[in-house]
A and B are shown apart, each in its own frame.
Chain A
Amino acid sequence: MHEFNLIPNEYYQRIRIQHWLKIFAFSYAALICVIYSGHTFLSHLETQQNEYIGTLQQSKQVIISQQKELGGLRKEKQQLKKWHSIFNSLHKGPTAQHLLIALDRVLNNNIWLRQLSFIREEETADANNVAVNTGYLIVVPQELNKGQRQAWRMKTHMTLQGEALDHSTLASLVSDLIDQQEIDDVRITKTASHRYIYQTAVTFEVDLLLNSRSGEHL
């Protein structure tokens, strides 16, 4: 059966337009809401990020200052290490006990000692002009000495005075001394013949150049 409907088409068209307008208005309002919410959310995020950046920058400043402090401490540590090595070096070298043991190894019945002297003390010297063969030298860093190249020298000196049965015995003594680890070099500074009632002997004075590193191995 045909159904009556007296509603003009323009009414439906108007309703359709109103419907679309409502959808558009709702969508627009929803879009505005989304944009506003997004803006608010992003602003909030930005504020949070800025706060975080501020915190990070503060941390960075702290880290930079700590790095500077660390750098200073490292430099100080290096200096202290150098000083430590210097002082360690200063305390190295053969001990008197080891020297005496070495002497004991080379002495025999044909040699008798009259005097034995051992000197060990620090002294500063110009590193460029110092005589290397007189002892153990430690070069001090320039910055510690305000530009002057200085060296600390260990004055380690041992002198033996005694008598030998003959020159051959003295020569073997010198040879045996040189063979000792603690001794670098031996120099005979004085020799003379001395006649006793029944026998002749050779008096001598020998300077020993000691090995400053030998203490590390002992």
Chain B
Amino acid sequence: MSGGTSSGAGGAAARMDRRTVLKLAGGAALLPAVACSPPREQIVPYVDMPEGLVPGRPRHYATALPLTGYGAPVVVESHQGRPTKVEGNARHPASGGATDAFAQAAVLSLYDPDRARAPVWRGAPGGAGEIRSWDGFLGALEGRRAAWDSTGGAGLRLLTTPVCSPTLAAQIAALLRRYPAARWDVWEPVNDDNALQGAIQAFGRPLQVLPHLAAARCVLALDADPLGPGPQQVALARDFAAARPGGKQPRDGQATARLYAVEAAMSLTGAAADHRLALHPADIPAFAAALAAELGAVPGAGMDAARGAAPQGAHARRFLAAVAEDLRAAGPAALALAGRTQPPEVHALAHCINDRLGAIGRTLSLVEPIRGGPALVAPSIAALAADLAAGQVSDLVILGGNPAYDAPADLRLAAHLPAVPFSIRLSPWADETAMLCRWHLPEHHPLETWSDAQSVDGRIGLVQPLIRPLFDSRSAHELLAALAGDPAATGHDILRAHWRERQGGGPSAFEDWWIAALRDGVLPGMAAIPVRPPAAVPPPAVAQPGTGDRAAPGFALLFRPDPALWDGRFAGNAWLQELPEPFSKLTWGNALQLAPGDAAALALDEGDLARVEADGAVLELPVVHAPGQAGGVAVVHLGHGRRHAGPVGTGRGVDAYPLRRSASPWRRDGVRLSAAGGRQLLARTQSHFRQHGRDIVREIDLAALARMPAGTDSLPASLYPEPPLPPGPQAWGMVIDQSACIGCNACVTACQAENNIPVVGPEEVALGRTMHWLRIDTYLAPPDGAAGGDGAAGGDRPLFQPVPCMQCEKAPCEPVCPVAASVHTQAGLNAQVYNRCVGTRDCQSTCPYQVRRFNFRDYAAGQAYANLGDPLYRAQRNPNVSVRPRGVMEKCTYCVQRISAAGREAEAAGRPLRDGAVVTACQAACPTGAIAFGDLRDPAAEVVRRKALPHNYALLGDLGTRPRTTYLARLRHSNPVLAADRTGGAEREGEG
């Protein structure tokens, strides 16, 4: 039916401009109707057990969301055929029920009205397109296939991202068998080439590292960001939390892992580290080499070499010595990780260290590359670029990615693309690449797709659609089938055929297997098999520090994937655009991050426009200060400045790809910085990061914790009689473990998705208005860190503090409300009655935590930002949460809709609410289990156990608000050797 829509519109609009036609075809009236229909094919359990379907009760389906060649295992909540919320797949070891912010935001992009709705043909690439039907495309394809058959596919190139779908990989392999002269190239801007080349150096073949943080007792991250954004985040963060008992059993003697970070720019891993050393990237190889030598992992004079090599002064040497000592002590329980931004030698050195300590197989395993396609992407895309330049490419099929935007600038891919006679682009959005291809074919959203995907641990899960495609789109499988001459094949058939072949066995057995696989979302026993490589071979001697590029004048410009937009693919997603960057709290754009010292030297204040010059290429973007960043380093996030990303993403921030070179994709040396003149109003959600001597984020050294008596957090006196707990069925409470919080923002997006929280847009954020019910405050540890400062304790260690509503028992916001819109429920919730609210805002002005959020404009509907008011987006909304109009105050409710749903279920089942029956959206999303929620009356509840811990405390408790939400002080497992070193900070500053 959607096909009819667009083809009809296409016929009607041969002469019309593409956008107008799409608006017509969109004819939004039809779409919500379409949006509410289940897929044609059988999905489980919907069709099989209709008796299970209760109107108003959501169903949950296991599937996977692809990200950079890995499938994130998820379970999607669907209301009457409308996917509304993504949760992690608890059955899948790589998720354990948690997700990252990207997965949470997937439901929003599904309903993006800017998605491509019909095939578009361009006579002149870059020009306006004409709507065509799929038949029209297939007709054109027939001609080309004839040519391929004759030439064996010479001139046919297939460009994809690393493939996570075994079925798709098999299809491509088959296609290549059919057209031997064709070639398959891959590109991924955030790639692991360095790691794989390091493995080649060490082991002679590309092997992939799977860290097992849970088993580690001492971890060293060499510019590695295992806890940072990316496909591995959820799995590794869970492991890390397991290795750091923090909130769980802090004093039962279980050894707690210690985390060291050596990095140039602040990362989530660096923020979580117990000790962190800020080094210029050019010094990190030397540090690694010295360390390896010290540990005897490579021939060398150890500390002498380090002394000779390490230019970073006494503190860095003490740091190195301490790390070496700790790693040696941990032995096989040690783990050295090198980051994708580090050159291959550092990876090779890390392999040597791990090998020497016997850690391989214990704290990490090595596996063959999990993703399909050529292992190294840089050479692959370079080869394609060469062919394009030589005009040897007659047919180009681009699946996924966005090479015209994110390929290395020096390959000039975008310049060559239009010359290709027959270029096909399959993507859900008309992005930069689509604009330069002859044919743009709309692709299914992952939630509309039948497929399969491998997760970061190599496990395979089936991908089932939650909804019939909203638009006239196809999946990559279907396009591949068409290329292979079978345009009729559906994704469902292709997938089943692939797996029936792989499974063998009889039909009935397969059906059982199929249903189980769909239900679980993960296939049994398919994790990547660790390989046992030969002993690691040390790399050739690394460049000595102080020599080579380190000496190059100017700044080293580092490229990092954006924590919210990743490589730019999420630029069209308003939730992610408005997701604050963890450290600068910047939204809706990127900035040049400079160490405060450098910024002062350049007289660049926050918000000043800086001019970034690297032979010829120039960027102008605002500056933010990045405490804890190494001197002489400037950092910029990729993924911004999109030219074709719809009304939400187009033109936000500055595109840094033009400065990126294939030779060194992560770092550009000799960059000149200067003030460009002029300022830009930064749309940030927080601009004061010091605690000003206030008791906000408590940090305790693990050693000191053992000496703490329980229940030290005393309640201030009250004029009123004190019931221990107000009467009521339950007494809900929450404890947030600040040692576990890594600042990944998953909870913020989860809350937004669950509670229909609107986006306000950059202008409003710049005015200081936000709507996030749950925010993560970032503070800098006081200069003399309460828990013993070290080199990085010079007031630049970030501390994360998630702040939802505290649900105070003596809520200041309630007595001031003139209409009783803010009232206390029996279960102790601090409820907000939206219908009763007249908008005096007295509640927020008296809330010491300032967690209430006011609809200054009609953000949800009438005055929604960009195209967010489009009716199609309404399909995403949670039917159990009311949408708030203009002039109404709203706030965190502890996900009261989930509480009542769980209560109804328990009542129906005639059993009491057991602990864990109610899981708030933020709690469910958190990969580290930092958030515990439950009934304070239930002695067995995790939340009760946590509240009894000695380091449990109430934020601003001395105000007497009696918050139900309390915090566990952040535990720091500092190394006494370094904790004693209090002068390091100044020293490092002096030499940075």
Decide whether A and B assemble into one complex: no
